[in-house]
Amino acid sequence: MTKWAIVADLGRCVGCQTCTTACRHANATPPGVQYRKVLDMEVGTYPDVRRVFVPVGCMHCDEPPCRDVCPTTATKKRADGMVTIDYDICIGCGYCIVACPYQARYKVSKPTFAFKGEATANETKRFDERLLGVAQKCTFCVDRVDYGLANNLTPGIDPEATPACVNACLSKALTFGDTDNPDSNVSTLLRQYKSFRMHEELGTGPNIHYLWESED
Amino acid sequence: MSTAPTKGSGRVTRVPTYCYQCVAGPDLLTVKVVDGVATEVEPNFAAAGYHPAEGKVCVKAFGLIQKSYSPHRILTPMKRTNPKKGKDEDPGFVPISWDEAMGLIADKLNTIRAEGLVDQAGYPKVAASFGGAGTPTQYMGSLPGFLSAWGPIDFGFGSGQGVKCYHSEHLYGELWHRGYVVTADTPRTKYIISCGSNIEASGGVCGVYRHAEARAGGAKRVQVEPHLSITGACSAEWLPIKPKTDAAFLFSLLNVMIHEAKREALDLPFLRDRTSSPYLVGPKGFYLRDPETGKPLIWDEACGKAVPHDTVGAIPALDGRFSVPAAFELGADDDRWTHEAVTGVTAFTLFAEHIAQYTPEWAADICDIPVKRIRQVATEYLDHACVGQTIEIEGKTLPYRPVAVTLGKTVNNGWGGAECCWARTMLAVVVGALEVPGGTIGTTIRINRPVSNRLESVVAGPDGFMEYPFNPTDRETWQSKPSIRNAYRMLVPLSANSSWSPALGPTQFSYLFLDEPQEHMPRATLPEFLLVYRTNPVISFWDTDRIANALARFPFTVCFAHTRDETNHFADILLPDRTDLEGLQMIRIGGTKFQEQYWDCQGFALRQPSVPPPGETRDFTDIATELSKRTGLLEKYNTAVNRGAHGVPLKGPTWDFTLPVDREHSAETIWDASCKAASAELTGGAETHGLEWWKEKGFRTVPFSVLNWFLTPTMVEKGLRYELPYQERLTRIGMQLGNRLHEIGITWWDTQLHEYHQLPEWKDFPKYWEDHVVECGGKVEDFPFWVVTTRSMQYAWGSNMHIPLMREVSSHIKGHDGVVMNPLAAAKLGVKEGERIVITSPINKSVAGRVVLSQGIRPDTVLMVSQFDHWATPVAKDFDVPSMNKLTAMSVSLTDATGSGADLSRVAIRKAGPDEQGRRS
Amino acid sequence: MTNEPEVGMRHLGLAPWLQTAWDLRAAGNFVGGGSGTGLLIITSLGAFGGLYSRGAILVGLVLVGLGLFSVFLEIGRPLRAMNVLLGGKRSWMTREAFVAAVLFPLGTAALVYPDLAKLIWVPALAYLYCQARILEASKGIPTWRSPLILPLILTTGLAEGAGILLVLAPMAFDSATPPDWAASALIAALAARIFVWMTYRRRMVAGEAPVEAAAVLVAFSAPFTLGGNIIPVVMVIGAGLEPSIAVAALAAAGLAAMAGGWMLKVTIVTKAAQNQGFAIKHSPARGAGEPGPGIKPGWTDSSNT
């Protein structure tokens, strides 16, 4: 089997938001809709303070609450773990938005553009009416992954088959790969480093793994 | 089923190009174009094997698409119709044709040419203000050819140079080790002391990548800074130091290493053979010199007597006092003292005795860092230094010293900057970590020549040190009247006189002296013609109201304008150029360059049009050609282009792609020839690919040895020593400069002259700013806070405040929406998160903004990220975020000897009243 | 119903923030559906004791219908509304729709065939249960996903239903007085509701909800307890003690109980609806540095250890 996942090395991430912008480009999302973004968290009290940059987005959960609540089956989980939305079925009830404990889903009802009133040439070119009034979120760049698999490329290794955020990451904090494959890039990292997953206690089985310390 | 947003259907091409919006580039990228519309920026994956950060692309480059398609763009030349200039005056810009615009500009320039290029005060009538660190050059096509053809131009109207750069490091770094910008050899470094350096925000893609790799490799970095910056966040430890006390901290580290550590922990052979440590110093503080040769003396332990420093076979004594039978000292100007039976002290001994006073106990109070932490850092640094170890690179064995010290801008600039640079370099010197693998190394040169290869700039100068092109201070050749308004050649010997030097002087003086003429110096005049490109000094400099006030009086200003902004608000003509995704140009890539660009290859990359040019925009090269033609300079301009003023000499040993000088050439023709010349230059003439080939490939490199990253092997090869720790030459130059200034009656530079010192010493640097409060008529206790700033990776150098995407993503990073403040300080002021405060500086300027609470800042310091406070730039003018630039003073008393000032100020803070809830106070 | 992103500064933060995907329109479904089904259940069970009120059944159905219409106004693609029926395998929202498809025909039929009234409680209770499960399945909102949301929604639905029955009594019943057991049913439902509420609130405040959500619940607790529960009980007792005011007092008690339930749901759905926020279990080691504690901003135990 295959289970796609992202490993985010918190020791490497610098919060530059290059992944955020790359994702905005790759998915042509409207202003403020960020399938991927990096949080800036502060821990401790002066002078013993730490600042941690935490990439977040859809966790493509093993047990996705969004999928469980979806009344239309628009949200599905593929055999390879990706949680997808069929924009042509979704009715935009917003139930998945409140079901997601990772605040990963968005719904935009009206066309919105970077410069307010008018769409720029690229926004016009890429405007996707299907995404109005329905839920949207990180797709793990499913189109790139599927294209790669169809062309004998390795997602997570070959850039054409890898999510845009991972390709863009300056610090190599983000790695995409198959956790079911013990020899994969992500499996290797998960062996080498201690990791945790966000809100794991909720039983969602999230598939972004956060590395926080070397095993040795 | 549809599960991914649309990618846009149509004919897809991927155009290779580069982004050099900021000095940390260039980043090689591809623009995905669908049916002629740019839709995505991606890394140029083909560059992964060449680029030091796998060809990744900075966050700022992703703003380029919105930049191109911004509805706020200026798409035709514009002319001002309101003759009154002022912040509150509507310029009344109206569109005009290129012909009219170029006619107006040429008329002005031709009048100047006819009447004389310099005014009665001796200042150039034409001035130019270009953005930071050479970035505009990579977008202005062949304009440098025109500038070169024109003649004298005042390039000293800065936009932040000297206050927003690494100023002291630029000058001292080049002097000591050809390091215009100084970094760690990050991938090999194991321990970095980072004083205020914000490499993760300002080091670009390579900076981020290299430090992430170093962390993954187990390196430890200690961040010493008043607030927990992005770099602090990514460091193993944070030491919240009091602002402007870094020199004390660094001195105390030296103290521990020299006086507490075992002497063997230091790199004694390096000190002995590669530095001035063994030079004997006489009673007047200058080197004891051999009466016959005039060379500085050392004590040769082999034969037990003083011998010239370069005596073959001598074993120099590092430490001690020795009796020398006959020697002389050479002071400033004609000072010369002849000695008999004089005691010579080694420079190292003087250094050790000097540093003895700076104990950790002494520094702890000054810096507000516990004694234990100071000792710990010093000890860890020594423990990581690997003194005695070597590493093999490309088959050559080199010393391996994986420790480094890096300095941020406010540490580097203004009072205390020189001392920090010296201490930092000495920290490398004492363990032999200067310019060797793992250690503290320089990126590139901008003052010495040849600029393309810093190793070749290592030329023997006097006394066994490298040559350095100081501006002269002797009676005969000192420039007593400034050639440009900021007087860099007159006041700052270290700034030298390269093409970069005008911007390495005290650029704030260009504006300051307009209103505050200094005694015994020709009064600064308004330039008759100002050309502005990729810069916005009304926002990015200091005391920005003063800049606006000055620009309002400039009689004729031409701005290349992407959108309206605060500087072109005062322009007479606006010109729209084809910018990042639309223009044609080549850039040199590879080799070593700031901020942390260390490549194992070098070559060129092409910036080419990804999308059709919008409106009436014109390629910069075509603009430069027409300007040259209309001013009768075509021949000179073409000659300059042939010579390579635009970046590529068109003629080489075995190739000649020079263009006929008597006629106009299109941008395509010029860059086609440039592409062929670049190909030939890289391959010794074997390849001559033209523009079409480069458009397809995007870049081309040839190998560049990693050994070129390190200067020390060249120093060894040439038998030269680093001019450290003792600053004999600089002291002499400082004295001579003082003599010259006093001879013409100038005493207003006297405080600056104290910076020239054999062994830099701690002065109460924070007090300079407290004294400035008093100078402004205030009381220090009324200004209890420091305000500091920090770079934002999303904005740094980018001129991209008008790009909504940058605003959107930067909002995730704390501080982009207000003034960062410690909760303890906020509680004292009675303000809560999100409430507005008014911040006032000693020059009686105020800004207002929202409080952003953070534990990651000293309670006596507030932080204003980046440079906001726009009032004309579209999008940015709605931010409602203050900038410290309005608050910081331009003053001679806050300018150090290198001409720089530090980016901080004492401030008063109070809760905003109900009537101050609007944008500005 | 939006989750429109805020463009510009002060982005939605790290600590839990108020969800905006479901607003009053969604709350309207829980209000109408809960009260309507509560009334239908009480009325249906009353049928076993001889109660039959077309008015009550009609009002119940209308309430449920208005609730569904309310939520219809919130969906992004109303023309595809029928797709809501596709997710029966997992989604309680689909199941709610299925049950509605039984409830409305049956209820309408019961208006004609009184005997059918005895059956209405089955789909009505199922519908109410679906609503409770809809909230409980919302893993992203800690105050909704609590297991206690189930009894809370059920008991308040019954309390509201009993309350409405008392309100309707002067109009819906010939005697103008409700059946004797109705007041008792209200008291029983209120007792159950207040007990569940107290337990729910305590657990939310004890750390099962974000600090901000717990604060909303705490602020709501006193007016709700008093106005929505104690006062109705006092009124019912007063009605028993003083028959001259019984009709008015019982109607007022019913109204207060109903209003309390409505406010409870509006509060939980639109005000105490902070999402999960973000948290990390550890701060990372940076290079050779030491790792540190994690953080869970906006929660009582923010250390997340």
Question: Does A7 contact chain B (CB < 8 Å)?
Answer: no
What does the alpha-carbon distance between residue A104 and residue A83 come to, in Å, rounded to a whole number?
12
Q: How far is CA B862 from CA A3, B227, B566, C14, in A?
A: 47, 8, 26, 22
pLDDT value at B919 more than 60: no
Inter-chain touch B221–C287, beta carbons under 8 Å: yes
* Spatial contact of B568 and B561, defined as CB atoms under 8 Å apart: yes
Return all residues near C248 (Cβ < 8 A) that are at least 6 apart: none
Strand partners, B40: B32
B56, B69, B809 member nearest A170 (Cβ): B56
With beta carbons less than 8 A apart as the criterion, state whether A29 and A148 touch: no
- Residues C221-247: pLDDT tens digits? 999 999 999 999 999 999 989 988 988
The reported pLDDT for the residue numbered B920 is 46
Whole-model pTM: value is 0.96
Q: Among candidates B255, B145, B202, B192, which has minimal Cα distance to B643?
A: B145
* Residue A105 touches partner C, C-beta closer than 8 Å: yes
Q: In terms of CA atoms, which chain B residue is nearest residue C8?
A: B808
> In terms of Cα–Cα distance, which of A143, A131, A128 is closest to A105?
A131
Helix axes C117-136, C24-47, angle to 10 degrees: 150
Residue B792: pLDDT above 90?
Answer: yes
Q: Read off the pLDDT band of B918 (50, 70, 90).
A: low
| Residue C6 confidence (pLDDT) | 41
Q: Which of B355-364, B757-766, C5-14, C117-126 has the lowest mean pLDDT?
A: C5-14
Residues on chain C bordering chain B, Cβ-to-Cβ distance under 8 angstroms: 7-11, 285-290
Rounded mean pLDDT, A134-151 = 97
Percent pLDDT > 90 in chain B is 94
- Ordered structural domains, chain C, with CATH: 24-276 (1.20.1630.10)
Q: For B327-384, give the DSSP string.
A: EEEE-STT-EEEEEEEEEEEHHHHHHHHHTT--HHHHHHHHT--HHHHHHHHHHHHHH
What is the rounded distance in angstroms from the CA atom of residue B907 to the CA atom of residue B845?
Answer: 10
Inspect the interface and report whether the beta carbons of A97 and C6 lie closer than 8 Å.
Answer: no
Say if the Cβ atoms of A15 and B233 lie within 8 Å.
yes
Q: Do A172 and B43 touch (CB under 8 A)?
A: no
Residues 6+ apart with CB under 8 A from B311: B298, B300
- Average pLDDT score over residue span B437-460: 94
Task: Give the confidence band of C171 by pLDDT, cuts at 50, 70, 90.
Answer: confident
Contact B378, B256 (CB under 8 A): yes
Q: How far apart are CA B263 and CA B431, in angstroms?
A: 10
C12, pLDDT greater than 70: no
Taking an 8 Å cut-off on Cβ atoms, the answer to whether C284 and A112 are in contact is no
Question: Length of chain A in residues, anyone?
Answer: 216
Interval C43-70 mean pLDDT: 94
Q: CA–CA separation, A7 vs A23, rounded Å?
A: 17
User: Is A52–C94 a contact, with Cβ atoms under 8 angstroms apart?
Assistant: no
pLDDT at B821 over 80: yes
Q: Could you tell me if B765 and B366 are in contact, meaning their C-beta atoms sit under 8 angstroms apart?
A: no
Query: Which chain B residues touch C278 with a CB distance below 8 Å?
Result: none
Mean pLDDT across B157-179: 91
Q: Mind listing the pLDDT tens digit for each residue in C273-302?
A: 999 999 999 999 999 999 999 999 999 877
Q: Which residues contact A198 (CB under 8 A, 6 or more apart)?
A: A56, A59, A102, A206, A208, A210, C278, C279, C280
Question: Could you tell me the pLDDT band of residue C7, with boundaries at 50, 70 and 90?
Answer: very low
Task: Find residues 264-303 of chain C whose CB sits inside 8 Å of chain A.
Answer: 273, 275-287, 291-295, 297
Q: Which residues of A167-184 are buried (b: 16+ CB within 10 A; e: fewer)?
A: bbbbbbbbbbbbbeeeeb
Using only the alpha carbons of chain C, give its radius of gyration.
22
Tell the residue number behind the tokens 């523009």, with chain if given: B691
What CATH number matches the domain at B767-916, 3.20.20.140, 3.40.50.20, 2.40.40.20, 3.30.2230.10? 2.40.40.20
Whole-angstrom Cα distance, residue B591 to residue B51?
Answer: 10
| Range with lowest mean pLDDT among B514-518, B724-728, B755-759 | B514-518
Beta strands at B597-607 and B699-703: parallel, antiparallel or unpaired: antiparallel
Report the mean per-residue pLDDT for chain C: 92
Q: What's the one-letter identity of residue C200?
A: Y
Quote the distance between the C-alpha of residue A69 and its chain's center.
20
For residues B607 and B17, give the distance between their C-alpha atoms in angstroms, rounded to a whole number.
5
Contact between C280 and A10 using a beta-carbon 8 Å cutoff: yes
Q: Which of B377, B368, B376, B429 is nearest to B401 (CA)?
A: B429
Residue B772 has pLDDT above 80, yes or no: yes
Report in angstroms the alpha-carbon separations of A173 from A8, A139, A187, B230, C214: 5, 19, 15, 15, 36
C30, containing H or E segment: helix C24-47
Which chain A residues are within 8 Å of B200, Cβ to Cβ?
Answer: 14, 16
Domain boundaries, chain B: 167-447+713-735, 767-916
Percent of chain A with pLDDT over 90: 97
Do domains B167-447+713-735 and B767-916 share one topology? The answer is no
Q: Return the axis-axis angle of helices C54-72 and C117-136, rounded to nearest 10°.
A: 30
Residue C2 has pLDDT above 90, yes or no: no
pLDDT of residue C302: 72
Tell me what pLDDT residue B917 has. Answer: 66
pLDDT at B757 over 70: yes
Q: For the domain B167-447+713-735, what is the CATH superfamily, name and number?
A: Dimethylsulfoxide Reductase, domain 2 (3.40.228.10)
Terminal Cα distance for chain B, rounded = 55
What's the pLDDT band for C303 if we cut at 50, 70, 90?
A: low
In whole angstroms, what is the distance from residue A89 CA to residue A71 CA?
10
Is B1 touching A (CB cutoff 8 A)? yes
Tokens 């846009």 belong to which residue?
Answer: B8
Q: Between chains, do B812 and A39 touch, taking CB under 8 Å as contact?
A: yes
Average pLDDT for residues B599-614, to the nearest whole number? Answer: 97
Amino acid code (one letter) for B646: H
The mean pLDDT value for B320-336 works out to 97
A56: DSSP letter: E
Question: Given an 8 Å threshold on Cβ–Cβ distance, is A170 in contact with B824?
Answer: no
Mean pLDDT of B418-428: 98
What's the CA gap between B500 and C170, in Å, rounded?
93
C208 to chain A, any CB pair closer than 8 A? The answer is no
Indicate the pairing of strand B390-393 with strand B396-399.
antiparallel
Q: Give the confidence band of C11 by pLDDT, cuts at 50, 70, 90.
A: very low
Reduced to 3 states (helix: H, G, I; strand: E, B; else coil), residue B601 is strand
Mean pLDDT over each residue of chain B, to the nearest integer: 96
* ipTM (interface pTM): 0.98
Half-sphere exposure of B90 (CA within 13 A, CB side): 3
> Which residues in chain B have their CB less than 8 angstroms from residue A17's CB?
59, 793-794, 809-810, 812-813
Is C10's CB within 8 Å of B834's CB? yes
Lowest mean pLDDT among A24-38, B154-168, B407-421, C138-152: B154-168
Which residues of chain C are within 8 Å of residue B234 when distances are taken between CB atoms? Answer: 286
Structural domains in chain A plus CATH codes: 4-214 (3.30.70.20)
Longest Cα–Cα distance in chain C:
83
Hey, are the CB atoms on B219 and C11 less than 8 Å from each other? no
Per-residue pLDDT tens digits for B73-113: 999 999 999 999 999 999 999 999 999 999 999 999 999 99
Q: Residues 131..160 of C with a Cβ closer than 8 Å to A: which?
A: 134, 137-141, 144
In this complex, the residue of B215, B807, B811 whose CB is nearest that of residue C287 is B215
